[in-house]
Structure 1
Amino acid sequence: MINAVLFDLDETLLNRTNSLKAFLRDQFERYAEHLGDVQRDEWCARFLVLDRRGQVHKSVVYPAILSEFGGRTAFAEALLADYRARCSRFAQPFDGMAEALTALRARGLSLGIVTNGETAFQSRHIEALELDRLVDAVLISEREGLRKPDAALFLRAANVCQTETSRCLFVGDNPVADVLGAHAVGMKTAWFRGSAHWPEDAASNPGPSIDHLSEVLRLVK
């Protein structure tokens, strides 16, 4: 029996790609004169490529993209600070997020978020989506001193939810950090596919795949 459902944040509850696109369009309009010979859509598309679904730190992305388009590379720090301060204002949830979490809580399940990232930055996104009202626990890698797929972080999440790992369902988009990491400590898993692909060199998916958050409800019956 499942007692707790744990979620990744980026590209699972938070539609990070759409949120980032909205922020980048706004940032471009405000700082276009510093960004070089580039149109807005080209800038946004290239940023997403360099960002690699959040796997590359923006302290690397901004200097790289400014250099490519002939922008002021010295302006990278200002753009990074703006990103940290304003990106959460454009936070967009995946369809059905609040409804799914509310329904899960109504069943008496403990809910948690386990996310990699900087504490202040991720906390602002959690607050923007009002997730702090919808879940019982939030574990952010910087604050915890651990990063997925470290087994210790998943074990800590189960402990915070006062249950065993075998009674937890973990939902996430990253095959290695989320799904295989949670599976390694005995959690049930659900891969939130989105636009991600399962790596050919990774172990096979140990659980079901879902495309909408409402599908989590049938996995905890």
Structure 2
Amino acid sequence: MIKAVLFDLDGNLLDREVSLERFIKSQHERLNKSVGHILKEQYVSKFIELDCRGYIWKDKVYQQMVAEFNITGVSWEQLLQDYVHQFKGYCVPFPNLIQMLTSLTNQSIVLGIISNGKGQFQMDNIMALGIEHYFETILISEKEGIKKPDPLLFKKALEQLNITPNECIFVGDHPENDVKASKDVGMLAAWKKTSEWENVEEDFIVHDLMEVPLLKELIVNKERTMAINELPNRGS
């Protein structure tokens, strides 16, 4: 019986691609005195390229931006601080986020987040989405000292929620850090499908967040069918 759903944050609850593009366009406009010699389209595309979908921390991104574009009016440290303090103002949720979380809590499903990233930065983004009160546990890699796909992070969430792995669904977009890692500890894994990967060995595919509340019934029906199929053949 499913009692809990755990989520990755970026690319699952937070539409990071849209949020990032909104932020970096704004940064170019706000700091135009220092970066205005760079075309906005160039500034945005180079940042997104160097960011590597969030897997490169921004100190390295901004150091390379400053070097490549010969930025002199502002330091990479100042650009980084602008990112750290301002990004939360540009956070965009995926469609149906609040409806999905409300539906799950109405089913008495407990919720959690396991996210790689900087502790306060990720918490600021969660709060910017206005969703922190839905979650019984929020584990962020920097604060925990371990990061996905380390199984200890998943096991800690299970302990905090007082549930077993087979009572939990994990929803994430990364094949290794989310899908495989959660399956390896015994959870059911729902892949939030993206165009980045193929041949992901998930238990379920999620295209829209409102599909998540339906997974519980889908699992019940699947288990019922399996039980029926395992009944002895009583044919004459």
Instruction: Please confirm whether the aligned pair reaches a TM-score higher than 0.5, indicating the same fold.
Output: yes
Q: One-letter code of the match for 1:88?
A: K
Establish whether residue 211 from structure 1 lines up as the match of residue 207 from structure 2: yes
**In the aligned structure 1, how far is the partner of 2:159 from the partner of 2:143?**
16
Establish whether residue 129 from structure 1 lines up as the match of residue 129 from structure 2: yes
**In the aligned structure 2, how far is the partner of 1:61 from the partner of 1:68?**
11
**In the aligned structure 2, how far is the partner of 1:12 from the partner of 1:37?**
35
Matches within 5 A, 1:24-103: 24-35=24-35, 37-72=37-72, 75-103=75-103
Give the alignment's Cα RMSD to 1 decimal: 1.5
CA contact (8 A) 2:155 2:185 kept: yes
Alpha-carbon shift at residue 133 of structure 1 (Å):
1.7
* Larger Rg belongs to: 2
Q: Which runs of 4+ in 1 moved over 4 A?
A: none
Alpha-carbon shift at residue 63 of structure 1 (Å):
1.1
Secondary structure in structure 2 of the residue aligned to 1:63:
helix
Structure 1: unaligned runs, 5 residues or longer: none
Alpha-carbon shift at residue 73 of structure 1 (Å):
8.7
Partner of 1:150: 150
Alpha-carbon shift at residue 34 of structure 1 (Å):
2.1
**In the aligned structure 1, how far is the partner of 2:210 from the partner of 2:216?**
11
**In the aligned structure 2, how far is the partner of 1:20 from the partner of 1:153?**
26
**In the aligned structure 2, how far is the partner of 1:191 from the partner of 1:73?**
43
**In the aligned structure 2, how far is the partner of 1:73 from the partner of 1:173?**
38
Q: Assess, with a 3 A threshold, how the Cα gap between structure 1 residues 72 and 193 changes in structure 2: closer, same or farther.
A: farther
Alpha-carbon shift at residue 206 of structure 1 (Å):
3.0
CA contact (8 A) 1:67 1:73 kept: no
Deviation sequence 1:102-157 (CA, Å, 0-9, x none): 00000001100100111110010011111112222111111111100000000111
Secondary structure in structure 2 of the residue aligned to 1:53:
helix
CA contact (8 A) 1:2 1:169 kept: yes
Alpha-carbon shift at residue 5 of structure 1 (Å):
0.1
Q: Percentage identity across aligned positions?
A: 36
Secondary structure in structure 2 of the residue aligned to 1:52:
helix
Partner of 1:192: 192
CA contact (8 A) 1:111 1:137 kept: yes
